[in-house]
Amino acid sequence: GVRALGGADEGLRWWCNAWHMPPQVMITEDHIQYYRKQSSPSALRTFCVVRNPLVRFLSAIDHWYWRLPKSERIQRARDVLSTDMKGVSMRGNPPWEGNWNFADCHFTPQHVYVIGPAGTRTCDHVLFWEALGTQFDRLMLQYGLQANITHHHHMARAENAVEFLGAGDVPDDLLDEVYRMYSTDYEMFYGDDHGYAHWKSQHH
């Protein structure tokens, strides 16, 4: 379950469900090294799936605030960055600064799920949501596994029967705020600032 950080007025400020917690919080460097030593090269391999930080951020806003019209969700996005996630710094090992576990870790930067204690990678392969079907199938073939993704889409839910936010709905200054919050994710997975600027120009 989840545990509230404060009283009812704390809103969505929670400790995260275990399956949302970054590995750095759940495991130690000793755990990683133990499993590496106990496993043959093909016995234990892991993969992570990452998503464009802006698309992921807007999806989380839609998830938590789907009852609000688009204009109010945009304002709520500003509030998340300026208030709820203000001062978050996830450099180095935990404990981290700021309210990084806001909203069940849905806004937690993705790089902390890939890089563990002392810079150790906690997954061997990074796949991209935008090409998950192709990349997953290729990875399974690499390990001789008969597995593939036959469907790759969002689950349809009644509360999500709303018009989703897209990059075109977001003012430039807010796009740049999202980049600043998730700059390490962009640099690690999608290239540097130039990569982000190119992506923004193509989707806005």
Choice between 2 and 80, residue whose per-residue pLDDT is larger = 80
Question: Does 183 have pLDDT greater than 50?
Answer: yes
Question: What's the pTM?
Answer: 0.79
| Percent of the chain scoring above 90 in pLDDT | 40
At 43-96, the pLDDT tens digits run 578 899 999 999 999 999 999 999 999 999 999 999 999 999 988 877 776 667
Q: Are 128 and 114 in contact (CB under 8 A)?
A: no
Supply 31's token pair. Answer: 């755990």
The structure tokens listed for 67 are 């009852």
DSSP conformation letters of 89-156: B--SSSSPBS-TTGGGGTTS-THHHHB-GGG-BS-SEEEEGGGHHHHHHHHHHHTT-----S---PPP
User: pLDDT tier at 23 (50, 70, 90 boundaries)?
Assistant: confident
